[in-house]
Amino acid sequence: MLFIAPEMVLGQGNDTPDNHRPISSIYEQLISKASEAVKYPAGESASRISLESPKITPTVWANIRFRSQPMPWGSSPLNSPIQLDYPAPFLPFRTRFFWADHAIATEVPFSNLLFAWPNKSIKKAPETIKGFSGIRLLTPISTLDKTEQSWMMFLGDKSIRGKSLDATYGSFARLLGSSQKAQADATEIAGLSEIYIERVNTDGDPEIINGWVDNEAMVGAVRFSISKNTIEVTQEVEATLFMRQDIGSMDFSPLGSSFSFNESDRKIRADIHPELHDADGALIQDGEQRRIFRPLRSPSEPIASIIPVHNLKGFGLLQRDREPEHYLDLSRPETRASVWVEPISPFGPGEIRLNEVPYEEISSENIQMVWRSQRSFRIGETVHLHYRIHWTQGEPKTELARCIATHIGRLTRQGQDKSPIPYRFRIEFDRVQNLPKNLEDMNVITNASRGKFLFQRLIQNAASDRFFIEADYLPDEKPIADVELTLKRHDTAISETWRYRISE
Partner 1 sequence: MQMSVWTFSFFTLFTLGVLAKDIALNPEGSLPFSHEMLIARAAIAAQEPFIPYEDSRELIPVSPQDWFKIRFLQGYMPWNHGAHQSFIELNYPASFFPSRARAFWVDHGTVGEIVFSNDLFDGVPPDTKISSSSRPGFSGLRYLTDLRSGEESRESWLMFLGDQSYRAKIGNGPYGSYCIPLNVTLKSHEAYEKAPQFTEFYLESRETPDSPEVLYTVIDGTALTGVYRFSTRRNATGVIQDVEATLFIRRSVVTLDLIPLVTSFAFSEVDREKYSDVQPEVHDADGLLLHEKQDAWFWRPLNIPNDTRTSVFKVDTLTGLGLIQRDRDPDHYQEASSPHLAPNVWIEPIEPFGAGEIRLTEQGKNVPSTENVWIAYRPSGETLPGSSLHLHYKIHWIADNPEANGLARCIATRIGRLNEKNGKRPPEAYRFRLEYQGTSIARNDLSDETLKVTLSNGNLLGKRIIHPPHSTRWFAEVDLKLASEEEAELEVIPERNGRPFAEGWRYSFKAP
Binding residues for partner 1, per CB under 8 A?
Answer: 263, 265-274, 324, 328, 330, 332, 361-362, 407-410, 423-426, 428, 459, 461, 463-464, 468, 470
Q: Smaller CB distance to partner 1: residue 375 or 407?
A: 407
State the nearest-atom distance from the C-beta of 326 to partner 1, in Å: 10
Q: How far apart are the C-alpha atoms of 99 and 500, rounded to whole Å?
A: 46
Cβ neighbours of 130 (radius 10 Å): 17
Cβ distance to partner 1 smaller for residue 409 or 436: 409
Nearer to partner 1, 309 or 405 (CB): 405
Is residue 170 within 8 A of residue 319, CB to CB? The reply is yes
| Nearest CB to partner 1, comparing residues 57 and 69 | 57
Which residue, 59 or 128, has its beta carbon nearer to partner 1? 59
**Pairwise CA distance, residues 425 & 417, whole Å:** 23
Nearer to partner 1, 26 or 485 (CB): 485
Residue with smaller CB distance to partner 1, 44 or 465 = 465
CB 84 within 8 A of CB 72: no
Rounded least distance, CB 276 to partner 1, Å: 10
DSSP count for the chain of H helices, then E strands: 2, 33
SS3 129: coil
- Shortest CB 379 distance to partner 1, Å: 45
Cβ neighbours around 25 below 10 Å, total: 15
Question: Residue 7: is it exposed, middle or buried by C-beta count within 10 angstroms (0-12/13-18/19+)?
Answer: middle
| Minimum distance of partner 1 from residue 417's CB (angstroms) | 18
- CA dist 252 and 116 (Å) reads 38
Work out how close the CB of 469 gets to partner 1 at its nearest, in angstroms, rounded to a whole number. 11
Q: For the chain, how big is the Rg over CA atoms in Å?
A: 25
Q: Report CA-CA distances (Å) from 12 to 7, 45, 103.
A: 11, 19, 15
Nearer to partner 1, 419 or 464 (CB): 464
Whose CA is closest to 380, among 242, 287, 490? 242
Output the smallest distance, CB 291 to partner 1, in A.
23
Indicate the helix (H) or strand (E) that contains 19.
none
How do strand 115-116 and strand 423-430 relate by DSSP bridges? unpaired
The distance of closest approach from Cβ of residue 18 to partner 1 in the complex, given in angstroms and rounded to an integer, is: 57
Please identify, using beta-carbon distances, which residue of 324 and 349 lies nearer to partner 1: 324
Smallest gap from residue 408 Cβ to partner 1 (A)? 5
Q: Rounded to whole angstroms, what are the CA distances from 57 to 87, 128, 159, 160?
A: 11, 21, 20, 22
The nearest distance, CB 267 to partner 1, in angstroms, is: 5
Q: Which helix (H) or strand (E) holds 392?
A: strand 382-392
Task: Give me the amino acid identity at 26.
Answer: I
C-alpha closest to that of 367 among 269, 285, 296, 419: 296
Of the two residues 10 and 276, which places its CB atom closer to partner 1 in the complex? 276
**Among 320, 315, 314, which Cα is nearest to 277's?**
320
Q: What's the min distance (Å) between Cβ of 422 and partner 1?
A: 11
How many CB atoms within 10 Å of residue 373?
19
CB of 327 to partner 1, least distance (A): 10
Nearer to partner 1, 127 or 360 (CB): 360
CB of 466 to partner 1, least distance (A): 9
Distance CA 157, CA 361 (A): 18
- Answer whether 256's CB lies under 8 Å from 367's CB: yes
Residue with Cβ nearer partner 1 (5 or 268): 268
Burial track 83-119 (b if 16+ CB lie within 10 A, e otherwise): bbbbbbbebbbbbbbbbbeebbbbbbbbeeebbeeee
Cα–Cα distance, 227 to 208 (Å, whole number): 9
